Amino acid sequence: MPELPSRSTATLPTARPAPVLRPPAESLAEHFRRTAELAWPVMMARAGILVMAAVDTIMTGRVGAAELAAYGLGNVPFVVFLLFGVGMLTGAVPLIAQADGAGRPGDCGRYWRLSLRTGLVLGLFGGAALLFAGPALEFAGVETDLAAHAGRVALIFGIGLPFLLMHTASALFMEAIGRPLPAMLLMALANLLNVALNALFLYGWLGLPALGAEGAALGTTIARIFLCIGLGLVVLRFADGGRYGVHRRIGAAWAAWRRLLGIGFPFALAQAAETTSFQAVSIFAAWLGTAHIAAYQALNNILALIFMLSLGIATAVSVRVGNAVGRADAGGRRLAAWVGVGLTLGLTLLLAPWLIGGRELAAALYLQEPAVRALAAAALPVLVLVIVVDGLQVVLLGALRGASDIWQPTLRLLAGCWLVLVPAAWLLGVRLEFGLEGLLAAIAIGISVVALLLLLRLRSVLAQPIRAL
């Protein structure tokens, strides 16, 4: 197959255009319906990732705050490498969605195979770097024994990192072509597997040694390997695989790979900016003591779980905006973007009163010690504000990515996270001693700035002519 041209070339090579599966949406109601149809399996699959982490957090929290603190801190360096890799792979989503919308499905499978290779390489690099997670945490000011314990957790997570990133490449491919259901079903199976493995390794059932936080990490790593193999086989065997070119050899693909990485790198940088800012807040919480980091870990898990629902909508919006760009449909691009914003705001505002009213129950679900539970429950109303603005900023990012806006959203996210969020977290949480509520209030302030900047950028982009990648 001929090599894809570089970014400077106006269009990708075209074979005979494949037929569009169905006409573009023509009404607002149809836009809502199609976005929801694509979003809900993506939401469930994304939430499944966090359900796995939530199960680990809840089951580890039953052992004690020290184990939960080690598990949470072990996630700190791992998540940085994970989300940087996910950001790099996300570059394939607008490329695949725009190619599919333009009637070039054969290019989609090629980008999938390139994404698999990228995920493997990034996963191996990140896993090797996590060998030094313990010393890095100690250097950041974490107490020596806790840093060593968390370092062992991070090392086990690192073993599964290549598999998790390759699974992500397959999941993003299936979502970008509008087939998200297999990833959702496999994620449900993986979560059941994770619960069973936690019982064996975390609690030491069937006579096995009880490994605590390391056991939770081991069970999750095995479940992630299952996800990688399972979804890879689904992609290779699904009915339209031939049409989408999943079996074709990549051939000479340096130009296509450069395009994938060139688009993915700004996404990865944006992902890393937000993630490292949140992880910096984790370090600040650790400075405040074991109770604060355990409570922050529980609240961060609630935030991440609901964020994954918003991320599902954002992925659907990115795909639908990308399809409209591929069709050169300016009206469809605009409606797909604003419908996603409305759906996300509706979801997060609907959940807000339930979370505030059930804050004692939510804290009790995660935490065993009464003092730590009270700390988390008191801060949960502030977390609700973070949930709303975080959902808004991620769907705005998804719309901008689908519309081929690459660097400007990244720069805005960098500014909000590192010029506003992190300094405010240190000031409010540590310097002024507002504790956990101060840390969460700073996150809300920083992400609100990001959301406002992205909203202004989206209005500007939608007023401009369509530009494909």
What integer pLDDT is reported at residue 194 of this predicted model? 92
What integer pLDDT is reported at residue 197 of this predicted model? 93
| CA 53/CA 445 separation, integer angstroms | 26
What integer pLDDT is reported at residue 118 of this predicted model? 93
Note whether 461 and 419 are within 8 A (CB): no
What integer pLDDT is reported at residue 25 of this predicted model? 64
What integer pLDDT is reported at residue 18 of this predicted model? 40
Q: Tokens representing 463? A: 């007023």
Residue 449 sits at the vertex; the CA angle it makes with 447 and 453, to the nearest 5 degrees, is 115
Show pLDDT as tens, one digit a residue, over the chain (469 residues). Answer: 333 333 333 333 333 344 444 556 666 777 777 887 878 888 788 778 778 887 888 888 777 778 888 888 888 889 888 888 988 998 888 888 888 888 888 888 888 999 999 999 999 999 999 999 888 888 877 788 888 888 999 999 999 999 999 999 999 999 888 888 899 999 999 999 999 998 899 888 887 888 888 899 999 999 999 999 999 999 998 877 778 888 877 665 677 788 888 888 888 888 888 878 887 898 898 888 888 888 888 888 788 878 888 888 888 898 889 888 888 888 889 988 999 899 999 989 998 888 888 888 888 877 777 888 888 888 888 999 999 999 999 999 999 988 989 899 999 999 999 999 999 999 999 899 888 999 999 999 999 999 999 999 999 999 999 888 7
Q: Tokens representing 455? A: 């909203």
Note whether 186 and 124 are within 8 A (CB): no
Q: Tokens representing 133? A: 């997670």
Cβ atoms within 10 A of the Cβ of 407, count?
11
What integer pLDDT is reported at residue 26 of this predicted model? 63
What integer pLDDT is reported at residue 357 of this predicted model? 84
| CA 313/CA 301 separation, integer angstroms | 19
Distances (CA, A) of 355 to 83, 224, 306, 368, 439: 26, 29, 11, 19, 19
| CA 169/CA 55 separation, integer angstroms | 24
What integer pLDDT is reported at residue 5 of this predicted model? 33
Provide, for the chain, the percentages of residues in helix, strand and coil under a 3-state DSSP scheme, each rounded to the nearest 5.
80, 0, 20
Note whether 49 and 245 are within 8 A (CB): no
Stated as kind and residue range, the H or E segment containing 221 is helix 213-237
| CA 56/CA 220 separation, integer angstroms | 8
| CA 270/CA 285 separation, integer angstroms | 23
Count of positions (residues) in the chain: 469
| CA 261/CA 91 separation, integer angstroms | 7
Going by C-beta distance under 8 Å and a sequence separation of 6 or more, which residues neighbour residue 423?
Answer: none
